[in-house]
Amino acid sequence: MTTTFLDTVLRRARAGIGTFPYPHQAAALLDNPLRRRMEDPGQSIDVLELTGNERVLEIGPGAGFFSVELAGRLDSGQLDLFDIQPQMLAKARRKLEQADHHDVGYTAGQAGATLPFPASTFDAAFLAEVIGEVPDKQACVRSLAVVLKPGGKLVFHEAFLDPDRLSVAELRALCEPAGFVLDHAQESRWKDIVRFRRTP
Ligand SMILES: C[S@@+](CC[C@H](N)C(=O)[O-])C[C@H]1O[C@@H](n2cnc3c(N)ncnc32)[C@H](O)[C@@H]1O
């Protein structure tokens, strides 16, 4: 990963504190006009290459910055949101309902444990700036391998200013032993968008 000096400082500072979820009280910093000006959520969602009828799982949607874009791409498919903080799910739900997306599933829980969905449910899963906050990342990825269909896509968006940002190399080390293969990687100093596929 090409990192910035600030990335390094943030990672070092965070290392002494341990992992914890981004606080829901600061959700406004995740979903605001400034971020929208600097970052097009559609660019990361494009990497999922959705056709419109898929079942998609978004882990850690926060206040729904990417979720509205995701729901908008699923004409006859379905989106499920999963987050450890029910308050974040409530914020995402408000945003989705305002955008007229009413057929979305909301489940609260720990992504570092068994995900509460039947095996081979989803065609794709999306995680933006989440995996670094999950205490048991390996358990999370193993569980994603179970709930994704064979050939299913797993897309990570990792970006600058997130103190828990994982590099493409770190994502590979995490995902490949769980049965995923790297399929696509857009890397830059500011943002990495990385797609894996679940092996059949
Ligand atoms: C930094 S926020 C990113 C939110 C959103 N993806 C975005 O980019 O705007 C991280 C999100 O992951 C959720 N999260 C953190 N740890 C989690 C865990 N172990 N299980 C499920 N969700 C988790 C947090 O509650 C929060 O909503």
One digit per residue, the tens of pLDDT, for the chain of length 200 reads 445 655 555 555 555 556 789 999 999 889 888 888 888 999 999 999 999 999 999 999 999 999 999 999 999 999 999 999 999 999 999 999 999 999 999 999 999 999 999 999 999 999 999 999 999 999 999 999 999 999 999 999 999 888 899 999 999 999 999 999 999 999 998 999 999 999 98
Ordered alpha helix ranges (H), 27-136: 33-38, 41-46, 67-72, 86-98
Residue 149 lies in a domain: yes
Residue 82 lies in a domain: yes
Residue 28 lies in a domain: no
Residue 50 lies in a domain: yes
Residue 29 lies in a domain: no
pTM given for the model: 0.92
Q: Give how many domains the chain has, as a whole number.
A: 1
Collapse the DSSP code of 77 into the 3-class scheme (helix H, G, I; strand E, B; otherwise coil) and give the result: coil
**Best mutation site among 10, 19, 22 for ligand 1, i.e. most ligand atoms within 8 A of its Cβ?**
22
Of all atoms in ligand 1, which is nearest to the CA of residue 162? 1
Separation of 48 CA from ligand 1 center, angstroms? 19
Separation of 108 CA from ligand 1 center, angstroms? 11
Q: Which residues contact 68 (CB under 8 A, 6 or more apart)?
A: 41, 95, 96, 99, 101
Residue 131 lies in a domain: yes
Separation of 64 CA from ligand 1 center, angstroms? 10
Pick the closest to residue 171 from 141, 147, 198, 199 (CA basis): 141
Could you tell me the end-to-end alpha-carbon distance of the chain, in angstroms, rounded to an integer? 29
The letter for the amino acid at 107 is: T
With beta carbons less than 8 A apart as the criterion, state whether 131 and 166 touch. Answer: yes
Pairing of strands 148-159, 122-128: parallel
Q: Give the residue whose CA is nearest to atom 27 of ligand 1.
A: 62
With beta carbons less than 8 A apart as the criterion, state whether 137 and 112 touch. Answer: yes
Residue 180 lies in a domain: yes
**Best mutation site among 68, 83, 126 for ligand 1, i.e. most ligand atoms within 8 A of its Cβ?**
83
E-strand spans in 60-190? 78-83, 104-108, 122-128, 148-159, 180-187
Residues with CB under 6 A from ligand 1: 21-22, 30, 59-62, 65-66, 83-85, 88, 110-112, 128-130, 133-134
Domain extent, residue 46, equals: 5-14+39-198
List the CATH number of the domain containing 160. Answer: 3.40.50.150
With beta carbons less than 8 A apart as the criterion, state whether 127 and 112 touch. Answer: no
Residue 59 lies in a domain: yes
